[in-house]
Amino acid sequence: MTENWKEEEKKKAAVEASRLVRNGQVVGLGTGSTAAYMVEELGRRVREEKLSIVGIPTSIATGNHAARLGIPLATLSDHPELDIAIDGADQVDPNLNLIKGMGGALTREKIVDSAAKTFVVIVDEGKLTKRLGLGQVVPVEVVPFAVPSVTRRLTALGGKPRLRIDKATGNPYLTDNGNSILDVDFGAIDDPKLLEKQVKMIPGVLENGLFVGLARYVYVGYRDRVELIKG
């Protein structure tokens, strides 16, 4: 029952945020179970309301989903700047800073979400936290060659890195970009902006799941309502 409520909360937030999308816009399409509801809703609007948009997906999975629903797709070569991007998150703090990447798409998500004039986050209430990192690892995408040295450097920064394993195969997880993910437990993070930069500077790190200062709006789904938090 609890799980059904959570799905309802995700869907409520996703559908409400999808209303921001207007005819003619270039739309960043996020990844994950909450973003999937937004893709479904935009697909419905394309079919039923003849909404005319172009989507730029943040993962191969989202691209396939959107294509199945008839949403026209494009790339950053066509549109290096987007009107809006809508994406989920794993944690949201009171300053609208985020941890993302449990679905493994953090690099493309950060590229697309940060290229949008307006970046909108959709979450269920369980994603809200007072401090990032409390009970939540930070995913870090790493070139496989560099996993040992990056592991050492992340440990020196105070983290506890763990190589993500693909549950289906038992092998190291690989991103859409062919890289590994280290899930790093930093505990409660004092300064997300500083940590984002420190991790980013480690040779072999492609990207990390700290999204600081990017989100403009967060739509939070509750059982009976959606709340909008503005940055």
Residue 31 is a binding residue for ligand A5P (CB under 6 A): yes
Residue 105 is a binding residue for ligand A5P (CB under 6 A): yes
User: Please, are residues 222 and 9 in contact by the beta-carbon 8 Å criterion?
Assistant: yes
Query: In terms of C-beta density within 10 A (0-12 exposed, 13-18 middle, 19 or more buried), how is residue 20 classed?
Result: middle
Quote the CA–CA distance of 10 and 122 in Å, as a whole number: 7
Q: How many residues sit close enough to ligand A5P to count as binding (CB under 6 A)?
A: 18
What is the β-pairing status of strands 26-29 and 82-87?
parallel
User: Would you tell me how many other CB atoms lie within 10 Å of the CB of residue 220?
Assistant: 22
User: Please, are residues 31 and 88 in contact by the beta-carbon 8 Å criterion?
Assistant: yes
9 is catalytic: no
Residue 100 is a binding residue for ligand A5P (CB under 6 A): yes
Q: In what order do the strands lie in the sheet with 138-142?
A: 160-163, 180-185, 138-142, 205-208
User: Please, are residues 72 and 63 in contact by the beta-carbon 8 Å criterion?
Assistant: no
Strand-pair partners of 182: 140, 163
Residue 11 is a binding residue for ligand A5P (CB under 6 A): no
Task: Among 34, 62, 180, 208, indicate the residue that binds ligand A5P (CB under 6 A).
Answer: 34
Closest to ligand A5P by CB, 161 vs 209, is 209
Stretch that binds ligand A5P, among 29-37, 166-174, 182-190, 198-206 (CB under 6 A): 29-37
Residue 33 is a binding residue for ligand A5P (CB under 6 A): yes
Closest to ligand A5P by CB, 100 vs 164, is 100
Residue 31 tokens read as 């990844």
CB of 215 to ligand A5P, least distance (A): 12
Closest to ligand A5P by CB, 105 vs 214, is 105
Residue 136 is a binding residue for ligand A5P (CB under 6 A): no
Task: Among 28, 32, 192, 221, indicate the residue that binds ligand A5P (CB under 6 A).
Answer: 32
Residue 57 is a binding residue for ligand A5P (CB under 6 A): no
List the catalytic residue out of 16, 109, 141, 207: 109
Q: Return the ∠ at Cα 214 (arms to 210 and 220), rounded to 5°.
A: 85
SS3 content of the chain, % helix, strand, coil (to 5): 35, 25, 40
CB of 11 to ligand A5P, least distance (A): 11
Q: Which amino acid is at 119?
A: F
CB of 162 to ligand A5P, least distance (A): 17
Residue 87 is a binding residue for ligand A5P (CB under 6 A): yes
Q: Which residues are catalytic?
A: 109
The binding site for ligand A5P (CB under 6 A) comprises: 30-35, 87-90, 100-106, 109
